[in-house]
Amino acid sequence: MNRCLTFGWAIYLGAIVISCMLFSGSGFASSAESANYCMDDWACVEKVEHNKEVSYWLFNKKPFVVTVTLDVKSSNLKSSNTNQNHYTINQVLQGHQRVKVLELLPINQAQDIWYNESFYWTPGNMLALHQADIAYGLPYAKDEYFRIVQGFGGGYSHQGASKYAVDFAMPIGTPIHAARAGVVIDLVAHNSLGGANRDYAQYANYVVILHDDDTTGEYYHLKQNGVAVTLGERIAAGQKIAYSGNTGFSSLPHLHFAVYRARPFGKYQSLPFEFE
C-alpha cells in the first residue's frame, strides 16, 4: 500500500530516486522545461527547470486523500530563505489537489549543480485522528464465527507497522463484510500467488476503505477476482465487499484486517481498535 518512485531510473514498490549532475550553460534549459513523475495513476511530482532554477509541485490525481513526501538533496541550490542542501516536504493532498512546495535557486551560476530526489506516497492522511470510541464490526457475516489465529503483537508477522492487526482463519471464498463504513480508495484483485514467505507479499489481493476520520480499514489476502466493490464506492458497515483467500504473504487461508494511518516516506502504522 505504500508507494515510492525513482525518477528516471528503476521503478519499484517503495521509492522514486534520481541522481544527476547538471552542468552550467547547456546542462540546464534556458526556457522553462517541465517533467512529471507519477506512479499507479495516483500521486505525482512535477519538476520545472529554468535557468538553473528548480521548482517542485505535488499533485494528487485521485479524488481521495493521500500523504506524500518529497526529499531533495542538492549542491549549489538553495531556497530563497535558507542555505540548506537537504529539503524534506511532507504534505497531505486532498482529492485532485496540486500544490507548489519548493523553489530552489542557484548559489553560483558558474558552478555545476548536483541533486538527488526521492518521492513517496501512501493512501490516507498522516494527520488523521482515529476515532478510538468507534466499535468495529467483525469482518464477516453475523451468523458466522472464525477463529483468530494472530492478534495484536502476534510474533509471526504482527510487529512494527502491522502491530495492531487481526488474522481470522477462514476457508477460501468466505464472504468478507466491511467492519466500518467508508469509501473504497484502493483495491487489487488479479493476483493468484501466495505462500509463507515475505517474497509473496507483492501478490496480495486487498481492499482499502477510507473511513470518515481519514484512517483506512484494510482487508488482505483475498481470493483471485474476489473483490466485490469498485473504486470510489461508498460502503456501509456490514456490507459484503470481498471473498477471503490465501494470496500474498500467507501461510494459510485467512483474512488480515487492520486500521491504519498513513505516515511520511511511503509508510503506514496500524492503530489499536476494538470490535463490537
Grid cell for residue 108: 553560483
Using CB atoms within 10 A of its CB, is residue 195 exposed (0-12), middle (13-18) or buried (19+)?
middle
CB atoms within 10 A of CB 141: 14
What is the end-to-end Cα distance of the chain in Å, rounded?
27
Judge if 11 and 47 occupy the same domain.
yes
Judge if 143 and 268 occupy the same domain.
yes
Give the Cα separation of 72 and 60 in Å (integer).
19
What range does the domain containing 209 cover? 135-275
Q: Tens place of pLDDT for every residue, the chain, 276 residues?
A: 555 443 432 222 233 333 333 322 223 334 456 677 776 678 888 888 877 788 899 999 999 999 999 988 877 777 766 667 788 999 999 999 999 998 888 777 777 777 788 888 889 999 999 998 889 999 999 999 999 999 898 878 788 888 999 999 999 999 999 999 999 999 999 999 999 888 998 999 999 999 999 999 999 999 999 999 999 999 999 999 999 999 998 989 999 999 999 999 989 999 999 998
Judge if 102 and 192 occupy the same domain.
no
Show which of 123, 154, 178 is a domain's final residue.
Answer: 123
Judge if 227 and 259 occupy the same domain.
yes
Q: Read off the DSSP letter of residue 109.
A: T
Contacts 24+ apart (CB under 8 A), 33-41: 35/7, 37/5, 37/7, 37/8, 37/119, 38/5, 39/3, 39/4, 39/5, 39/11, 39/121, 40/3
pTM of the full structure: 0.83
